[in-house]
C-alpha cells in the first residue's frame, strides 16, 4: 500500500529524494519522518481540506497534494492540522481492535454493479501513526519549522 510521508524542515522549494537509507531533503538525510497509509489519508481527507498549505506551483490551497508535495507553513494551520489529527486519534481509540474503513467507490469490469472498497487496519497501527504524526507536527511548531507532506 502506498504511503504519504511527512517531514519537518524550513524550505520553500524542497528537493526530496528517497534512497535505501531513507528520505533526503535538499541533499541532507532526514532523521525523523512519519509514514501514513494512503487509504487512511483518503479516509481523513475531507477534514484535511480544512488546512491551508502551499503547493509546488506556489499556490496557496486547501488540503494535501495527493501526488506531489505540500508545505504547511503557518503556525495557525500547523495547530489546526495537529488538532485534526488528535481528534481523529481520540475517535479511533474507541474503535474495535480491527477497524474497517470505507474507501472509494469501484465496480467490477463487465458489470454495472458497484461497491465501496473496504480497508482493514489494526486499531493500534492507526493510533501509532496518529501519535507519530502529532509528534512531528509538534516538533515543527516548537522549532518554528514547516511540515512537508510528500504525496504518493
pLDDT tens by residue, 60-111: 999 999 998 899 999 999 999 999 999 999 999 999 999 999 988 888 887 8
pTM of the model: 0.89
- Comparing 110 with 3, which gets the higher pLDDT? 3
Q: Which domain holds residue 118?
A: 3-150
> What pLDDT shows up at residue 25?
81
CA distance 41 to 44: 5
Cα dihedral 61, 148, 89, 91 in deg (nearest 10): 10
> What pLDDT shows up at residue 94?
98
Domain count, the chain: 1
Amino acid at each position: 500500500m502506498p504511503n504519504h510521508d511527512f517531514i519537518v524542515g524550513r524550505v520553500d522549494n524542497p528537493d526530496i529524494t528517497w534512497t535505501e537509507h531513507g528520505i533526503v531533503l535538499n541533499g541532507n538525510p532526514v532523521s525523523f519522518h512519519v509514514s501514513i497509509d494512503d487509504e487512511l489519508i483518503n479516509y481523513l481527507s475531507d477534514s484535511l481540506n480544512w488546512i491551508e498549505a502551499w503547493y509546488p506551483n506556489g499556490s496557496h490551497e486547501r488540503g494535501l497534494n495527493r501526488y506531489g508535495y505540500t508545505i504547511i507553513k503557518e503556525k495557525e494551520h500547523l495547530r489546526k492540522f495537529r488538532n485534526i489529527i488528535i481528534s481523529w486519534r481520540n475517535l479511533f481509540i474507541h474503535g474495535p481492535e480491527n477497524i474497517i474503513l470505507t474507501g472509494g467507490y469501484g465496480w467490477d469490469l463487465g458489470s454495472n454493479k458497484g461497491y465501496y472498497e473496504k480497508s482493514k487496519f489494526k486499531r493500534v497501527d492507526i493510533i501509532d501513526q496518529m501519535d507519530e504524526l502529532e509528534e512531528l507536527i509538534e516538533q515543527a511548531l516548537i522549532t518554528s519549522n514547516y511540515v512537508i507532506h510528500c504525496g504518493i
